[in-house]
Structure 1
Amino acid sequence: MADALVDPFADQDVIRRLLNESRTWAFVGLGDNPEREVYNQARLLQQRGKKIFPVHPSGATVLGEPGHTSLKDVGPVDVVGVYRRAEFAGEAVAEAIAAGAKAVWLPLDVIDEAAARRAQEAGLDVVMNRCPAVEWALRR
């Protein structure tokens, strides 16, 4: 719990809830390149029973799931993982808010505190600068 006092975007209760209770994850930046970290994270969560939605300009099918070019084409999901460079994170977070997402997860080194605050003010849970795989391993 002390971690949440140090970092308001790493609340362990929120992280635990998103990993354990969420059912649907949209991954912004998820293309069909298995060399990218987003691919590995999406595959891990898919293997753990999450329904994933790839969101990438290519609209490619990824991990057996049809791709989408925009979050607005996906509709409401539990969590939006923002796997874009930090300078593009704000736009993805705004789209997540508009699409009715319940939470946004910005992985390691994707830091946009202003966007994270906007998401919280809109009622979304926010995790930032954390890796789902690492957090999942810590839950075991």
Structure 2
Amino acid sequence: MSGELIGESRGKIIGTRVVELLETSPKIETTDLSTGRLLGIESQDLSTAWSVWRSPDTFHAEGSGVVTSKDGEMAMYTGMGMGKGSASDPETLFHGLLFFRSSTPQWSRLNGTAVIIEYTVDAEGNSRSRLWEWKGRPERT
């Protein structure tokens, strides 16, 4: 990955629902509750995302979440990306970008930074997230 690993968490899908029936695919919403570390701080993450299948094994997803610490720190984020899986198999792999905002000194360094996420879910609904702070620099032309 291009960047520094800044967070990892494990959790569980705690809710799923059909939001809308589109022309070619249902729009599915899932909510995940996980615990882990963000920038070295123990954290809990509650996120909700919707996904739409683009092909038999690819989906687009967008969502938002709130990360909190035991000491009351809070960061919010929005994100989007693409995933692999199938409508008949709950196992998925998702890659995307998260955009954080926080007024908490411990997490405010993430403001204005693209955070790369790798998110997996197994057949039992167990999730795992890994986050990298993007460190790439655009080339000057």
TM tier, shorter chain?
Answer: under 0.3
**TM-score with structure 2 length normalisation?**
0.26
Larger relative helix fraction: 1
Larger relative strand fraction: 2
Larger Rg: 2
